[in-house]
Homo-oligomer: A and B are copies of this chain.
Amino acid sequence: LDAADAPCAGKSEIHITGSLYRKEDMLKLANLSDILTFEIEHISMEGLKAVESSGKRVVPSSKTLEIIQDKGTQKQFYQSHQIPTTDFRLAADTSNWATLLDELEIEQQFVIKTRTGGYDGKGVEIAHRANLPLLLEKYINTPVVLEKPVDFTTELSVIVARDLEGNMQVYEPCEMVFDPVLNLVDTLVTPARISPKLSQLSKDLAVKTVSALEDAGIYAVEQFLTADGQLLVNETAPRPHNSGHHTIESCYSSQYDQLNRILFGWPLGNPSQKMPAAMINIIGPEGCHGTYRLSEASALLAIPGVYVHLYGKAETRPGRKLGHITILSEDMSKLEQLIQQVKSLVKII
């Protein structure tokens, strides 16, 4: 941990270097704070509870993070609240995988998610039953969620803001396009190119999910739209999310503005979208390590409606999120052209 290198180091009046896995460091931050939030789920639960016991409010609370941090508990939460989700079984170890896969009627492909520690596509594997012997070895003592894959046409994400009093505001559904190689979100288009009816159902499902959590915060409720028109919740992130980055430029009130409002106890902002937006992640390419630059930055900055965000991370690594680009256009077909133009210019060297 190098404080001088941290992108946030120069942006705040007080900067603490510490680990989100060390209770002592978390308490040190809490002592300086009136209210706290987090932007990553993988933090020490013991530390978070110690912060709350010290009398400081954390938004969202440890209760919510406990549900979300463990993908098995999260699945059970959806089930117990009648929130549609993909069929699944929990396995503490691999001893009964065969039975569980049978129960899920899986003959070929299935999804394995480690219950804890996954992030940005890590900890998620699309597996094939034919490879079962190897998989049983790999996951021998790892608690996992086994999921039946769904035939989905679109992956959606809906940002919901919930304030300390329980008021909610919901954003337009975002359509997430994954890069199958990196297993990372590649391009996002908001509003999603789905019918108004489905859009409303997707927003309703997101609100239902956040209502069930009964906690303040910014949430991204990721959903599958299946080939037969069903919406299933995949997972929920209890923090500002990649699928909400476009809100900085495209909405009256961004996901970050909403989070500020929530923490300060101010009224929620207006989530309406001013115009359609696309977002492209800037990701560290394969085989590229160390210092880097965005080689076509100048050409990108010259395109009207294009916003380049670089996070100021000191070094690139393959698959690392280095920044993102937001594109605005009043016209959806023009937006699609701009996406292609921008994608051809995003090069990290």
Q: Residues of A with Cβ closer than 8 Å to B? A: 9-13, 252, 261, 266-267, 269-270, 272, 274-275, 297-298, 301-302, 304-305, 328
- B304–A266 touching, CB < 8 Å: no
Whether A270 contacts B304 in the complex (CB less than 8 A), given A12-B10, A13-B10, A328-B252, comes out as yes
The 4 closest A-B pairs by CB, nearest first: A10-B13, A270-B304, A267-B302, A266-B301
Whether A270 contacts B11 in the complex (CB less than 8 A), given A252-B328, A328-B252, comes out as no
Q: Considering the chains assembled together, what is the distance between the CA atoms of A304 and B261 in angstroms? A: 14
Q: Considering the chains assembled together, what is the distance between the CA atoms of A272 and B303 in angstroms? A: 13
Residue of B nearest to A330 (CB): B274
Q: Considering the chains assembled together, what is the distance between the CA atoms of A114 and B252 in angstroms? A: 42
Q: Considering the chains assembled together, what is the distance between the CA atoms of A267 and B10 in angstroms? A: 26
Chain B residues within an 8 Å CB radius of A272? 304
Q: Considering the chains assembled together, what is the distance between the CA atoms of A302 and B13 in angstroms? A: 28
- A304–B252 touching, CB < 8 Å: yes
Q: Considering the chains assembled together, what is the distance between the CA atoms of A13 and B9 in angstroms? A: 8
Q: Is the interface of A mostly helix, strand, loop or mixed?
A: loop
Q: Considering the chains assembled together, what is the distance between the CA atoms of A275 and B272 in angstroms? A: 14
Q: Considering the chains assembled together, what is the distance between the CA atoms of A261 and B301 in angstroms? A: 9
Whether A270 contacts B305 in the complex (CB less than 8 A), given A252-B328, A328-B252, comes out as yes
- A269–B10 touching, CB < 8 Å: no
| Assembly stoichiometry (copies) | 2
Q: Considering the chains assembled together, what is the distance between the CA atoms of A274 and B274 in angstroms? A: 8
Q: Considering the chains assembled together, what is the distance between the CA atoms of A304 and B305 in angstroms? A: 23
Shortest distance between the CB of A252 and any CB in chain B (Å): 6
Chain B residues within an 8 Å CB radius of A9? 13
- B252–A298 touching, CB < 8 Å: no
Chain B residues within an 8 Å CB radius of A261? 301
Q: Considering the chains assembled together, what is the distance between the CA atoms of A270 and B10 in angstroms? A: 28
Residue of B nearest to A304 (CB): B270
- B328–A297 touching, CB < 8 Å: no
Chain B residues within an 8 Å CB radius of A304? 252, 269-270, 272
Chain B residues within an 8 Å CB radius of A305? 252, 270
- B269–A301 touching, CB < 8 Å: yes
Shortest distance between the CB of A212 and any CB in chain B (Å): 26
- A267–B301 touching, CB < 8 Å: yes
Shortest distance between the CB of A335 and any CB in chain B (Å): 14
Residue of B nearest to A275 (CB): B274
- A266–B298 touching, CB < 8 Å: yes
Q: Considering the chains assembled together, what is the distance between the CA atoms of A298 and B12 in angstroms? A: 25
12 contacts between A and B (CB under 8 A): A9-B13, A10-B13, A252-B304, A252-B305, A266-B297, A266-B298, A266-B301, A267-B302, A269-B304, A270-B304, A272-B304, A274-B328
Residue of B nearest to A4 (CB): B13
Shortest distance between the CB of A32 and any CB in chain B (Å): 14
Residue of B nearest to A269 (CB): B301
Chain B residues within an 8 Å CB radius of A252? 304-305, 328
Residue of B nearest to A249 (CB): B252
Q: Considering the chains assembled together, what is the distance between the CA atoms of A12 and B13 in angstroms? A: 9
